[in-house]
Amino acid sequence: MQALIETLKPGSPDHALALSLDPARIPAHIGIIMDGNGRWANRRSLPRVAGHKAGVVPVRTAVETCARLGVQSLTLYAFSVENWKRPRTEVETLWQLLRFYLGRELARLCANNIRLRAIGRIDILPPSVRRELDAAIGATSANSGLVLNLAINYGGRSEIVDAVNSILQRASESGSLDSLVIDEDAISQNLYTSGQPELDLLIRTSGELRVSNFLLWQIAYAELYITDTLWPDFDRRALLEAIAAFQKRDRRFGGLRPASAHSAPSPSSMEPVGSPSS
């Protein structure tokens, strides 16, 4: 958190916003559905791919801001299993941009101690993309700061299916299939995000009120933050505002707020009105 404040101009709105955050309640894991590139381009009468190009800038901002804030994991939705339905030229531009991003950002990721991971069915990506992705993942694997998960050819349902299949396969290999019981921990431990903190905050840009197959298991108790801002316009201030909003939420996880719990009625005062004892 201090690392971020040091980079901001004293007196600037971002500096004031960063100072207003509670360092003890920085979300451990943030997921972002980076949506609205096409609409951003449409509004400027540009081709959709111009929106995707413009969307690379806020990726760097979000990644470095999260790293400096002390966020442990950031998961960015870059390409869904459903995005193959788009025109081939658009999909190819997205792969080119991913390679451009990796080439341009690798040194900065290392300088910021960021560990890159890819989540999704990446085995079927074009070989050139996979090669660069694997190289970048390898080059950052010893970094100990922010874990940056790029969700590529990712689907929340496929992730759960893949988790269940790996549990089944391991049980089959060890001859324990007959006695296998799958519980929540087993699924969590076999997700692509295994070992990372629970998702605290899910941000979606461009105003759509849906999750579009993103982190379906992990969002169970995440706080949802949806902004009309289109992804290419999602700057550092927009991210700090999302985190400030997150810190104002009352997270109960199905329980009660500590104050309510203390003032809970005693069992004797809980008799229903009109019950024989009243």
Is residue 235 annotated as part of the catalytic site, yes or no?
no
Contact residue for ligand IPE among 22, 134, 208, 228 (CB under 6 A): 208
Give 196 or 206: the residue with its C-beta nearer to ligand IPE.
206
Contact residue for ligand IPE among 18, 26, 29, 38 (CB under 6 A): 38
Is residue 153 annotated as part of the catalytic site, yes or no?
no
Site stretch for ligand IPE (CB under 6 A), options 71-79, 106-114, 117-125, 160-168:
71-79
Rg (CA), the chain: 22
Count residues near ligand IPE (CB under 6 A).
17
Q: What is the chain's length?
A: 278
For the chain, the 3-state helix, strand and coil shares in percent, each to the nearest 5, are: 50, 10, 35
As a whole number of angstroms, the distance between CA 93 and CA 91 comes to 5
User: Among 123, 112, 121, which Cα is nearest to 148's?
Assistant: 112
* Contact in structure between 159 and 119 (CB atoms under 8 Å): yes
Site stretch for ligand IPE (CB under 6 A), options 10-18, 164-172, 205-213, 251-259:
205-213
Contact residue for ligand IPE among 15, 25, 39, 99 (CB under 6 A): 39
| Least CB distance to ligand IPE at residue 230 (A) | 7
As a whole number of angstroms, the distance between CA 6 and CA 242 comes to 20
Q: Where are the beta strands (DSSP E) in 174-232?
A: 201-204, 223-226
* Contact in structure between 158 and 40 (CB atoms under 8 Å): no
Give 36 or 145: the residue with its C-beta nearer to ligand IPE.
36
Give 190 or 213: the residue with its C-beta nearer to Mg ion.
213
Contact residue for ligand IPE among 29, 50, 79, 101 (CB under 6 A): 79
Site stretch for ligand IPE (CB under 6 A), options 5-13, 76-84, 180-188, 246-254:
76-84
Residues 19-58 binding Mg ion (CB under 5 A) are 35
Strand partners, 148: 74, 116
Q: Where are the beta strands (DSSP E) in 2-127?
A: 29-33, 73-80, 115-119
| Least CB distance to ligand IPE at residue 22 (A) | 29
Count residues near Mg ion (CB under 5 A).
1
Give 153 or 196: the residue with its C-beta nearer to ligand IPE.
153
* CA-based end-to-end distance of the chain: 56
Torsion sign, CA atoms 95, 212, 69, 50: positive
The whole-angstrom distance between residue 69's C-alpha and the CA centroid of its chain comes to 15
Pick the catalytic residue: 14, 22, 35, 37?
35
Which parts of this chain interact with Mg ion (CB under 5 A)? 35
Residues carrying an active site annotation: 35, 83
Which parts of this chain interact with ligand IPE (CB under 6 A)? 33-39, 77-80, 83, 94, 206, 208, 210, 212
